[in-house]
A and B are shown apart, each in its own frame.
Chain A
């Protein structure tokens, strides 16, 4: 029997249903794996909190229901009993939620995010909460107040960000599934650099209620997994209208699993794939470009029609994003002031006034990157600057949307590399925010326009994963699953199996390290 932790979520779910594996065994196997690879000096550090007791209890409940059989067993969700990891930006009752910040150290939410309510109802055991850049601000997880997460492919490299913890957990076989959030690429870019799959749904496709807001008009919760089909199952579970989120779409969740299964046949006859001229070439590593070009050939061979599309305003997208996002950040993070919850710092000297307590709390509770964005956003919204900064950025946003509209006239889906480079070395860009921001150049346009995007593994460059991104029109998330699954299955034929199976064996590396 294949090792439990190496199974995809769908495979594991099959074995749970068939009674070959129990959910308790599955949860325990993942907890063992976490114990083996996550901690220590050179551990992955994907998890900030482990929820072993509750996860095992939920697993036992699923096992009991399955063992009893009957209607209740029949009614179980397809993913019931399959463990999952939760990005620590999503609030959970019974587990701390830190957002990767000292500001919320030890804070326990009194309510569950809507996606967590759905996960509980479907009985997926929650293994714990995963690391992230503080308040999801970063592309490397190095801005976490609780130390960086390491890339399982190379422990000296970044796992991407902000959702590096979720991506690394899935890549390191610490969890088959995870939840992420994507504001400018925080699901897709970590997926790309860890050789995993990550999806940013259409804006409004998944409720944001209970995801601690970074930039409300850009944030989306989405699935993280090792296969496209797994993400489709998880996306269908968490998607759908939520009366607690005014921006959530009031329409049924598309048939994503069906689309992924269709894609797995490898036939893309008649599908028009638009290559975004502006998201390749200069700035993209040669190895990344090479894997991207190979992917295009594979798609063409599968019957897809490859066309070139131009999105001239994408070159302004990064600049617009770094005005809109910090503006919303400056307002969304104002609530963290030490008055009601979380950290409170009383100034050591001088009078204790509310203003000084708020100031001291925010000075001590927030890290540099968060402060940088709050300052940027406060400035961009200020009287006299609003029109030039926030106002202009919103105009760019409209232009980016128009570029997408025009591109989707010519193509059913668009394609680009997910990130311009493979995973870089830990510490190599922490002193250069602009270089760090450039990592998201290909993922940001989708957030500005609200369209869905997926990153799937596209092969290796210098032994490190390269991600391929597909983008679809809003509401057409199903197209992503079809072409994503098709590319995945076709590339895996060439690789002789999933790309992730080429990743180094962390457990033995750890042993060697110790020896």
Chain B
């Protein structure tokens, strides 16, 4: 085994000397109703081994049948990635023994992927655009899920036994493979994150995947190699498997650049191998050596006939493509008039849809942003959920804002009303009515409370008359108390000054 090093080279130093070359294999689980080759339900989170048929268990005698919807979804992904779509393509068997693969081969595509030769323009935060070229997107089936029991950290090494759940076996996957990405330099980690985010966004936008990385709907293998600056011959690459969050993709690429640089600086050779990503330490460790000697004995799947795509079919699918996320963002930013920073925050918070819907319901862009990025995000954080997961409807926001503009309630009360809405007490107007939360704007009612307060605190009144206006604060408390918090503090101040004949 080749020497390894635990030392890292500082990222900036590494990239002063070396050019990174990246490559990504992103697996996308499709959200079809049934599996890739059987009519078993494709559902996440059910009791183990319940969403299975003889076909996805690989029982003797069974045959696969291609899921047409999965093919359509794959074509949609191909089109969204600006790929060419194969007129005819087939499946192949990738042979290897592993207990999560019921047939001990994976039915995949090999020489003729359904989509190939595409690209995706990736916009980084400062607006710089990188074009990532897509080599291919091919269809295949997922494996089952192994759970190793009794060993350390759920690893197979040292486990007493392993459990296998075949619910996931046969779930349709599209594997998107990039061409080598050269020229990202110091922006490589950033680009890595942005690329995976873009793919995730596209498949979510297409509606072909639930795209939840935490559930493994989108899984990334990141390839990294370094070559001396200015060289054109790629270095030896490592493949970090299952980097399954956007942040992790960024960190893994950064770590591997630092590690490769250290290996090279030490005069050693980078080992071509798979690496395991460890989220806790943000490091990778060596997996199994990966070499060209891996022999999966691919051959054409004899149980399936080729998939033939007609031009009419592809055009019909193309007509179903939604607006690409990047173009949509450009359009919305211009429409809403947000600053770069404001818009970026909205995008990062994943609230484009929510704000767009709220504006469509009648709110101004500023109001929609204020609520979603403000109070709703705060409540979501407290509840440990997404803002969109709270259940606030655009209609609620429009109604709340209407009440504020009509001066029925103030911002503070509006925030309380929202909590009552979420607690299921009714619409904002109903709650204001029921709980008697309307702001007290009636000067006579306020006046009485103020008179009472001044009568109770003659020393305060004397201070105010002497020009110590900050003493008014002492009167506001009792007035608020008397009006159950519904007084407008500004108006109270105005009335006190008016009554005492003091200039504000």
- Contacts A208-B63, A212-B60, A246-B305; is A381 near B95 (CB within 8 Å)? yes
Q: Do A110 and B93 have beta carbons less than 8 Å apart?
A: no
> Which one of B77-85, B133-141, B296-304 is at the A interface?
B296-304
The minimal Cβ–Cβ distance linking A97 to chain B, given in whole angstroms, is 7
Mask, A214-236, CB within 8 Å of B = 1, is: 01110000000000000000000
Say yes or no for A413: interface residue by CB 8 A criterion.
Answer: no
Say yes or no for B380: interface residue by CB 8 A criterion.
Answer: no
> Which one of A311-319, A333-341, A433-441 is at the B interface?
A333-341
Inter-chain contacts of B103 with A (CB < 8 A): 334-335
The minimal Cβ–Cβ distance linking A426 to chain B, given in whole angstroms, is 28
Inter-chain contacts of B102 with A (CB < 8 A): 335, 340
Q: Do B104 and A109 have beta carbons less than 8 Å apart?
A: no
CB-based nearest B residue for A242: B63
> Which one of B1-9, B15-23, B51-59, B479-487 is at the A interface?
B51-59
The minimal Cβ–Cβ distance linking A288 to chain B, given in whole angstroms, is 33
Q: Do A246 and B304 have beta carbons less than 8 Å apart?
A: yes
Partner of A110, one of B59, B99, B297, B302: B59
Inter-chain contacts of A25 with B (CB < 8 A): none
Mask, B287-325, CB within 8 Å of A = 1, is: 000000101011100111100000000000000000000
Q: Do A331 and B58 have beta carbons less than 8 Å apart?
A: no
Inter-chain contacts of B66 with A (CB < 8 A): 246
Say yes or no for A287: interface residue by CB 8 A criterion.
Answer: no
The minimal Cβ–Cβ distance linking B497 to chain A, given in whole angstroms, is 84
Q: How far is the CA of A328 from the CA of B208 in the complex (A)?
A: 33
Say yes or no for B234: interface residue by CB 8 A criterion.
Answer: no
Q: Do A354 and B303 have beta carbons less than 8 Å apart?
A: no
Q: Do B54 and A110 have beta carbons less than 8 Å apart?
A: yes
Say yes or no for A192: interface residue by CB 8 A criterion.
Answer: no
Chain A stretch 324-357: residues in CB contact (< 8 A) with chain B? 327-328, 330-331, 334-337, 339-341, 354-355
Say yes or no for A237: interface residue by CB 8 A criterion.
Answer: no
Mask, B356-398, CB within 8 Å of A = 1, is: 0000000000000000000000000000000000000000000
Q: Do A109 and B305 have beta carbons less than 8 Å apart?
A: no
Say yes or no for B105: interface residue by CB 8 A criterion.
Answer: yes
Say yes or no for B65: interface residue by CB 8 A criterion.
Answer: yes
Q: How far is the CA of A210 from the CA of B54 in the complex (A)?
A: 10
Say yes or no for A82: interface residue by CB 8 A criterion.
Answer: no
> Which one of A48-56, A143-151, A298-306, A382-390 is at the B interface?
A382-390
- Contacts A110-B54, A383-B295; is A358 near B97 (CB within 8 Å)? yes
Say yes or no for A213: interface residue by CB 8 A criterion.
Answer: yes
Inter-chain contacts of B58 with A (CB < 8 A): 335, 340
Q: Do A247 and B305 have beta carbons less than 8 Å apart?
A: yes
What is the total number of residues of chain A having a CB less than 8 Å from a CB of chain B? 44
Q: How far is the CA of A310 from the CA of B293 in the complex (A)?
A: 44
Q: Do B97 and A381 have beta carbons less than 8 Å apart?
A: no
Q: Do B97 and A90 have beta carbons less than 8 Å apart?
A: no
Q: How far is the CA of A382 from the CA of B164 in the complex (A)?
A: 29
- Contacts A216-B302, A216-B303, A340-B102; is A209 near B97 (CB within 8 Å)? no
Q: How far is the CA of A382 from the CA of B297 in the complex (A)?
A: 5
Q: How far is the CA of A99 from the CA of B65 in the complex (A)?
A: 24
Say yes or no for A104: interface residue by CB 8 A criterion.
Answer: yes
Q: How far is the CA of A334 from the CA of B104 in the complex (A)?
A: 6
Q: Which of B60, B62, B66, B305 has the most CB of A within 10 A?
A: B60
Q: Which of B66, B99, B298 has the most CB of A within 10 A?
A: B99
Q: Do B299 and A246 have beta carbons less than 8 Å apart?
A: no
Q: How far is the CA of A432 from the CA of B97 in the complex (A)?
A: 31
Q: Do A109 and B299 have beta carbons less than 8 Å apart?
A: no
Q: Which of A110, A212, A335 has the most CB of B within 10 A?
A: A335
Inter-chain contacts of B303 with A (CB < 8 A): 213, 216, 246-247
- Contacts A216-B302, A216-B303, A246-B303; is A331 near B297 (CB within 8 Å)? yes
Mask, A258-278, CB within 8 Å of B = 1, is: 000000000000000000000
Q: Do B302 and A335 have beta carbons less than 8 Å apart?
A: no
Say yes or no for B185: interface residue by CB 8 A criterion.
Answer: no
The minimal Cβ–Cβ distance linking A155 to chain B, given in whole angstroms, is 31
Q: How far is the CA of A243 from the CA of B55 in the complex (A)?
A: 13
The minimal Cβ–Cβ distance linking A487 to chain B, given in whole angstroms, is 33
The minimal Cβ–Cβ distance linking B150 to chain A, given in whole angstroms, is 13
Say yes or no for B64: interface residue by CB 8 A criterion.
Answer: yes
Q: Do A209 and B63 have beta carbons less than 8 Å apart?
A: yes
CB-based nearest B residue for A219: B302
Q: How far is the CA of A328 from the CA of B295 in the complex (A)?
A: 16
Q: How far is the CA of A358 from the CA of B63 in the complex (A)?
A: 23
The minimal Cβ–Cβ distance linking B110 to chain A, given in whole angstroms, is 11
Inter-chain contacts of A113 with B (CB < 8 A): 61
Partner of A246, one of B60, B64, B104: B64
Inter-chain contacts of B293 with A (CB < 8 A): 383
Q: Do B302 and A246 have beta carbons less than 8 Å apart?
A: no
B residues sitting closer than 8 Å to A (CB atoms) are: 54, 57-66, 93, 95, 97, 99, 102-105, 162, 164, 293, 295, 297-299, 302-305
Please list 16 pairs of residues, one from A and one from B, whose beta carbons are closer than 8 Å in the complex, sorted by A's number: A90-B61, A109-B61, A111-B54, A113-B61, A212-B61, A213-B303, A244-B63, A246-B65, A246-B304, A246-B305, A331-B95, A334-B105, A336-B60, A337-B97, A339-B164, A355-B97
